[in-house]
Amino acid sequence: MACHAFVIHIAVQTPLHSNVGGLLSYTHGHALPPGTLVRVPLGQRELLGVVWESVPAAHADLPAGVALRPLAQVLDALAPLAAPWRQLVAFTARYYQRSLGEIAATALPPALRKLSNAQLLRRLQVKKKAAQTVPEQEKLVALTAEQQSVISQIEQNCGPFLLYGSTGSGKTEVYLHTVAAALVADPQAQALVLVPEINLTPQLLARFERRFAPTLGPQAVASLHSGLTEAQRLQHWLAAHTGQARIVLGTRMAVLASLPQLKIIVVDEEHDPSFKQEEGARYSARDLALWRGRDAGAKVILGSATPSLESWYACQQGRYQRLDMPSRIAAAALPGVHLVNMRQQPKSTVFAPALLQAITERIQRGEQSLVLLNRRGFAPVLWCGDCGWKSDCPHCSAHQVFHKGERRLRCHHCSASQAVPRHCPHCGNPDILALGHGTEQLQEALEQVLRNVQRPDGKPARIGRMDADTTQGAGQLQAQLAHIHDGSVDVLVGTQMIAKGHDFRRMTLVAAIAPDAALMSTGFRAPERLFALLMQAAGRAGRDAAFVGQQGSQPQMWIQTQQPEHPLYQALLHHDYPGFAQQQLHERQQAGMPPFVFQALVRADAKTQDAAQNFLHAAAQHAQSLPALVGVFLYPPIPMAVQRVANIERAQMLIEAASRSALQKFLHAWQPLLHPLKKQHKTVVRWLVDVDPQNL
């Protein structure tokens, strides 16, 4: 080891459930600063790693006879990742039961894995020379008394804050002012703004660029989300890491970005389940934002018109400071809610006549309507009335959805697709029926019933559709949003992606079609999510008080339901989130559900359902010997709601504890026992632990 005087411990992307889930050790001629990026050999591959510690070889505690391999390359063109970032990665790995390397790899842009030190140096030099068009400075608007009060409280207190603001109350303006104040107070300060979904990014990014780019420069605002190319993501990440980007706006992945001078974090629509990663490292960006803010001494603002029950309860416990903005900007009225009892309509009714009349009137006045159905495709399933055949996915325990435009059946779980059969594959019946409705079918139905309705300019009504199928191509999302904003679309049909965050100035009516399905869900969070979705959707109507006043219109929210007497709809009728939250928290406390208990899921994927459940049964038996089991309850293993995906059977076991620390202590003691267990259950493909699961 004479020429390799130091042992370097490296975080490399290896899954925690493998036998190499910890730090890996290599040799190097001299010590390297923690946070340095390196390339290391692993088997036949060469991987990106992050230096965690350097130890003199003479003091390294290594097993006898072990020969370490040297580092392949040191990427010292880039400044080391700072201690707060490493602490964030370490906490995320520890809390969510993942490996350090897996979390570090999740946080770093994929393009870094392919670059040499020389290539990285060139990227840094090119980045500094890059020029962009500076947008025109946004005209500042006068703050309302509520906005001024909230901004003052944020400046005077430490937080964290829950900004409970009605849809259209001007929460974004509060974000802009508080970010501006932080950047003025410290010329090196950085801000992080998180949104739940990519489709919300363009509009908010444009607001921040108009506000800050003219004074801070064209590269002061950067975005991080999965819709970027690898080159764009690397460029924006480097801007954040070097401090050139003063504001980073992104989806959940951005919470792990390297921001050495972070002073303020905003989590918009904090209630949204999209902040919880559901694949790979299953972290919650909202919860990590809170931890990161506390660790870095940065202020954290959670904003929502329908806060998560966890955040609402945290305010009641005094852990967050609640700031209220109940009024809409310019005295705009919240939409009136109309409940349509579909039990009183003919069985095959898709749109109640009164709703169609209301939509027609708005088209004729030059106003826009939004029709919400949280199910894409034409119909959820095809069915043969003669033999009972259904369009089941051959690889999953789910139906293949009928997409009429493509003439395809497509599984929304494994993406398998096939052409629509011309007759029943089992009995030959040519009359195959489409059961249920999807956004594609609603668009077609509206085009038919509104074909003779004219806009004020005498042109026929135009029906648009916005869902995952119509926005998957490059630039399609921005193009569709532009058509809505410029009035090219009179009625917009879509899924939940159109229901939150967007500022459609001409929208005066929102209609929810068949929302009752969510009430049938077995998940205890279903009512909370449905209420939030409908409240957010209602908030798209009547946002522009001047336009509504000029039109002489009344913004409305229509809900077609079989259960108009349901407490959820009755609370929605009065826009009563506090009442709904109180009722839900009472029910959860009675039932022993979060936020009154803490949960984790352990999931097993195997070739058979028996194999998956046998692994979980064995894992539960191993847990019985642990002293840390005190105060922790393990439920029996059960199949997941969608039991089979891509020919892999899935089972899960719920773990519950009255305290977070008891749950964490148990998981840390229990997880090492699961590694050798997998070797005994060879048909198990993988297993994972999901802490604070959102979907049971």
Strand ranges across the sheet with 45-56: 24-28, 6-12, 45-56, 37-42, 73-75
**CA 591 to CA 587: how far, in whole Å?**
6
Residues 6+ apart with CB under 8 A from 87: 295
Residue 427 is assigned to a ligand binding site: yes
DSSP string covering 273-296: GGGB--SSS--BHHHHHHHHHHHH
**CA 616 to CA 293: how far, in whole Å?**
36
Residue 414 is assigned to a ligand binding site: yes
Radius of gyration of the chain (CA): 27
Q: Which residues partner with 341 through β-bridges?
A: 561
Residue 158 is assigned to a ligand binding site: no
Q: To which residue do tokens 């401090």 refer?
A: 243
Q: To which residue do tokens 């803010």 refer?
A: 293
Give the helix ranges, DSSP H, for 301-352: 309-316
Helix H or strand E encompassing 510: strand 507-513
**CA 224 to CA 137: how far, in whole Å?**
23
Beta strands in 225-378 (DSSP E): 247-250, 262-268, 299-304, 321-325, 336-341, 368-372
Residue 411 is assigned to a ligand binding site: yes
Q: What's the DSSP call for residue 331?
A: G
Strand ranges across the sheet with 507-513: 336-341, 556-561, 507-513, 368-372, 491-494, 463-466
**CA 329 to CA 547: how far, in whole Å?**
13
Side chain identity at 459, as an amino acid letter? K
Query: Dmax over Cα atoms in the chain, in whole Å?
Result: 87
Residue 387 is assigned to a ligand binding site: yes
Indicate the annotated binding residues: 384, 387, 393, 396, 411, 414, 424, 427
Indicate the annotated binding residues for Zn(2+): 384, 387, 393, 396, 411, 414, 424, 427
